[in-house]
Amino acid sequence: MRRRQFALLGLAGVAAAGAGIAWSWRHSASGSEEAEATLWGMSFEQPDGRALVLASLRGRPLLLNFWATWCAPCVREMPMLDRFYREKHASGWSVVGLAVDRAEPVREYLARLPMSFPIGLAGMEGAGLSQKLGNLQGGLPFTVVFDRRGKAVGRRVGALEPGHLERWGRELSLTA
């Protein structure tokens, strides 16, 4: 009899967890849509003091990467993101790095390793924005890929691999 009770409790637990995950996914997806709409109206200061207006990037694929200088995987993937930008920019791609960090460490990092793509200073508010865009764990790096219509079509918490960039580049090139 005890086995049967444990089995039933286990099934009930799995069903409840599944319902919770489904609700969480739907809830975060609708919240993400609101965040996407808000995102395109935002601007960020760049390390050189100029404004980075995200609306100016709408209409082309965008890879948006949340990173920080204190995040080792973030720092390791920056050269790969820079190569992706240099290879894909002519075909319409944009890449933006939003630093969830203080301005001075970002400036020091970029003085040592300049990037070809724009970097915005999001500060700690960037962590909240990344969560609204689907980074429920709050981890870094976090990448969101947007199509030409400004809709998120890919997300990745954690370090990117070249295969992620190749796949997104190929998929969004096909929808041109």
Q: Is residue 7 part of a domain?
A: no
Domains contained in the chain, number: 1
Q: Is residue 9 part of a domain?
A: no
Q: Is residue 136 part of a domain?
A: yes
For residue 175, the model assigns a pLDDT of 52
CATH number at residue 82: 3.40.30.10
114-150 pLDDT, tens digit each? 999 999 999 999 999 999 999 999 999 999 999 999 9
Q: Is residue 33 part of a domain?
A: no
Q: One digit per residue, pLDDT tens: the chain, 176 residues?
A: 555 544 444 433 433 333 333 333 333 444 678 989 999 999 999 999 999 999 999 999 999 999 999 999 999 999 999 999 999 999 999 999 999 999 999 999 999 999 999 999 999 999 999 999 999 999 999 999 999 999 999 999 999 999 999 999 988 875 54
What is d(CA 5, CA 49) in angstroms, rounded to the nearest whole number?
A: 64
Q: Is residue 157 part of a domain?
A: yes
106 touches 31 (CB < 8 A): no
From residue 6, alpha-carbon distances to 18, 19, 111 in Å are: 18, 20, 60
Which domain covers residue 147, as residue numbers?
38-174
Q: Is residue 162 part of a domain?
A: yes
Q: Is residue 1 part of a domain?
A: no
Q: Is residue 86 part of a domain?
A: yes
